[in-house]
A and B are shown apart, each in its own frame.
Chain A
Amino acid sequence: MANVPLSQIAHGRSGDKGNHANVAIIAYTDEGYLWLREHLTAEVVAAYFLPLAAACVVRFEAPNVRAFNFMLYDALAGGASRSLRTDTQGKTLALALLRMVVGVPTKLLSERNHV
């Protein structure tokens, strides 16, 4: 086991849908995807983003691109039009989630397997 940022096994991108944010987390490897499926649950993501006071967090699966897409409902304090935050559109949320320190088997820490 190694304690590493999530960015060691996955990449991603986030954006907005009105007052909701979507955070897509994409595993670099098939093994990484299986690890995410078990460990990066909606509950874990909701707890991590608790200070944003989202109404709820829902996880969607896109195994075709080894991805999980998290919807953070009502997480943007009013969204692009009304939010007083700098990041009104949640564009930095994927980077924030990829900073989460996770304990993963060291065998997952191989190179990104293809670009």
Chain B
Amino acid sequence: MKRVRIGNGCGFWGDNLDAPVRLAETGQLDYLTLEYLAELTMSILAVQKAKDAKAGFATDFIDVLTRLAPTLKAQPRLKIVTNAGGMNPRACAIQAKQVLAAAGLAEKRVAVVSGDDLLPRLDELLANGNPFNHLDTGAPLTAIRDKVVSANAYLGAKPIAEALKLGADIVITGRVADASLTVGPAAHEFGWGFGTTDLDRIAAGTVAGHLIECGAQATGGLWINADDSTHLENVGYPIAEMSEDGTFTISKPAGTGGAVNLETVAEQLLYEVADPARYFTPDVTADFTTVKLSQQSANVVSVTGGTANGITDTYKVSIAYRDGFMSAGTLVIAGPNAAQKARRSGAILLEKLEQAGFTYAHSYVEALGAGDCVPGVVKGEGDPPEVVLRVAVRDPRKAAVERFTKEFAPLVTSGFPGTTGYTVGRPPVREVFAYWPALIAKSAVTPVVEVV
């Protein structure tokens, strides 16, 4: 039976830069997927694009592609599918072409999947009866329309499969559902249909894509029982080897660290899932409760089942809007009584700001090391030798948040004994982009595929 090996070498923008090359060199892959876009990455990229028409994509990909060039030469059939395009997939593709040409790979065909960016059409779509109501609260988008910086539909695997059918060696997308980066190549290779045909196979492909989309989280990263013997310093990234019938294995390259077992795969199966019987993607609503896992051999888990639970006629839309400014800074407070001193220091810091005329819409003090990571739930035991004091504020006024960043250093001399750790200077102020999830009818969105 025909098998297709799809490996994911990047789980988010910021993931290990060497992983894609190592995975491609040793994974015997047909496809390398690279996933860069967290929920709010698009808003940051949208702001970058507004300042520079050639920006707005995950620039790490260009670095990774440069270093992948020798591998692409050695493995001429290896294809890459990535959402590195972010808010500007065409600009990303143009830079990718330049990198490829410089490496003697000008013959590589690069395709772009776009059509996800709804911001230019937002008012037209609103006027045509798409309210973009907040998925959780039901509030209409008009409440924050003037603050919106990005609005992207999560496209599915169909345009990726179409790009591959056009002979693309590298597919660069904007916002697509993470799992679709895997479903696209599988559907192309096996001729799976979209819409209502082959839905169970698309669902199985979605399970595979979901399992590998976060990179090493399927192969030992975050595993509850990871220890020194897991060798996470050499963790291998995940490979889904798909068969035409939708069954697949999860594995990692030989000789790497990490672990692929029933625990690592089960933990990742439910990661960031709400109702496991209804995992919504643009391609299918997948039922994860029909998935069966079995350990086939060391570091190889066989995955069967995974069925469709229908398909929606909507795309999810990820909208980001400006929502003020925030900053967070830290100091280290040594004991005795470290936790008590830290909490009081945080209160003093905020009191001094209040004396200066600044109160904040939101402020928060943590004594990290004394149980504040899950506040009130995990109780610290005993008197820790030191804790990290962390104070954070959020407010609509940028100047007020900037003033906050200047109130940490004074505590080094005017605070409690044992106050230290003011080593990185004033903390940065960042603009807050709040998240507004919504839905839109699939009929209102047209995915675009082009070879550049």
Check A85/B366 contact, CB under 8 A, given A13-B267, A62-B289, A64-B292: yes
> Min CB distance, B361 to chain A, in Å?
11
Specify which chain B residues have a CB less than 8 angstroms from the CB of A66 in the assembled complex: 266
Residues of B within 8 A of A60 (CB): 274-277
Q: How far is the CB of B251 from chain A (nearest CB, A)?
A: 15
Q: Interface code B204-240, partner A: CB below 8 Å = 1, 0 otherwise?
A: 0000000000000000001011000000000000000
Q: Once the chains bind, are A13 and B366 in contact (CB under 8 Å)?
A: no
Q: A48 vs B378: C-alpha distance in the bound complex, in angstroms? A: 10
Interface residues of B in 258-288 (CB under 8 A from A): 259, 261-263, 266-277, 288
Contacts of B40 in A (CB 8 A): 80-81
Pair count A-B, CB < 8 A: 145
Is A64 touching B273 in the complex (CB atoms < 8 A)?
no
Q: Which residues of B contact A85 (CB under 8 A)?
A: 364, 366, 375, 392
B374 touches A12 (CB 8 A): no
The verdict on B390 contacting chain A, using a C-beta distance below 8 Å, is yes
A6 → B minimal CB distance (Å): 11
Q: Note all chain B residues with C-beta closer than 8 A to A52.
A: 374-377
Q: Are B432 and A20 in contact (CB under 8 A)?
A: no
Please indicate the chain A residues that have their CB under 8 angstroms from the CB of B364 in the complex: 77, 84-85
If A92-B374, A115-B261 touch, whether A19 touches B136 (CB-CB below 8 Å) is yes
Which parts of B408-438 form the interface with A (CB within 8 Å)? Answer: 432-435, 437
Task: Find out whether the CB atom of A82 lies under 8 angstroms from the CB atom of B268.
Answer: no
Q: Name the interface residues of B283-305: CB closer than 8 Å to any CB of A.
A: 288-293, 295, 305
SS of A interface (majority): mixed
Please give the residue numbers on chain A whose beta carbons come within 8 Å of chain B beta carbons, in ascending order. 7, 11-13, 15-20, 22, 24, 26, 48-52, 60-67, 69, 71, 74, 77-82, 84-87, 91-96, 98-99, 112, 114-115
- Known contacts A49-B377, A114-B295; A22/B289 CB under 8 A: no
Contact A12 B272 (CB under 8 A): no
Contact B274 A26, beta carbon cutoff 8 Å: no
Residue contact B435 to A79, C-beta cutoff 8 Å: yes
Q: Are B375 and A82 in contact (CB under 8 A)?
A: no
Residues of B within 8 A of A81 (CB): 39-40, 320, 323, 432-435
| Inter-chain contacts of B375 with A (CB < 8 A) | 51-52, 85
Q: Can you list 16 A-B contacts (CB < 8 A)? A: A18-B39, A18-B437, A52-B376, A64-B292, A64-B293, A64-B305, A67-B270, A69-B270, A81-B40, A82-B434, A85-B375, A87-B373, A92-B374, A93-B374, A99-B378, A115-B261
Contact of A51 among B136, B268, B376 (CB under 8 A): B376
Q: Which of B323, B373, B377 contacts A82 (CB 8 A)?
A: B323
Q: Using CB atoms, name the residue of chain A closest to B330.
A: A86
Please state if A86 and B368 are interface contacts (CB–CB under 8 Å): yes
Cβ of B81 under 8 Å from chain A: no
Q: By the criterion CB–CB under 8 Å, are B224 and A7 in contact? A: yes
The 3 closest A-B pairs by CB, nearest first: A51-B376, A24-B270, A84-B364
Q: Which of A67, A74, A91, A99 has the most CB of B within 10 A?
A: A67
Apart from the given pairs A12-B224, A65-B262, A67-B270, 13 other A-B contacts in the complex at a CB distance below 8 Å:
A13-B222, A13-B224, A22-B274, A26-B267, A48-B377, A52-B375, A81-B323, A84-B328, A84-B364, A84-B393, A85-B364, A86-B373, A114-B262
Cβ of B38 within 8 Å of any chain A Cβ, yes or no, is: yes
Q: Does B433 contact A11, Cβ atoms closer than 8 Å? A: no
Determine if B363 and A84 form an interchain contact, defined as CB atoms under 8 angstroms apart: yes
CB neighbours (8 Å) of A95 from chain B are 224
Min Cβ gap A18→B in Å is 6
How far is B295's CA from A85's CA once the two chains are assembled, in angstroms? 38
In the complex, the chain A residue whose C-beta lies closest to that of B368 is: A86
**Contact B273 A96, beta carbon cutoff 8 Å:** no
A69 touches B292 (CB 8 A): no
Smallest CB–CB gap between B222 and chain A, Å?
Answer: 6
Measured between alpha carbons, how far is A26 from B432 in the docked complex, in Å?
A: 35
Q: Whose C-beta in chain A lies nearest to the C-beta of B391?
A: A84
B38 contact set on A, CB distance < 8 A: 80
* Chain B positions within 8 Å of A20 at CB level: 136, 274
How far apart are the CA atoms of A71 and B278 in the complex, in Å? 14
**How far apart are B380's CB and chain A's nearest CB, in angstroms?**
12
Report how far A114 CA is from B376 CA in the complex, Å.
Answer: 34
Give the distance in Å from the alpha carbon of A29 to the alpha carbon of B51 in the complex: 55
Distance A79 CA – B271 CA, assembled complex (angstroms): 16
B175 within 8 A of A: no
- Tell me which residues across on chain A come within 8 A of B121, comparing CB atoms: none
Q: Which residues of B contact A50 (CB under 8 A)?
A: 376
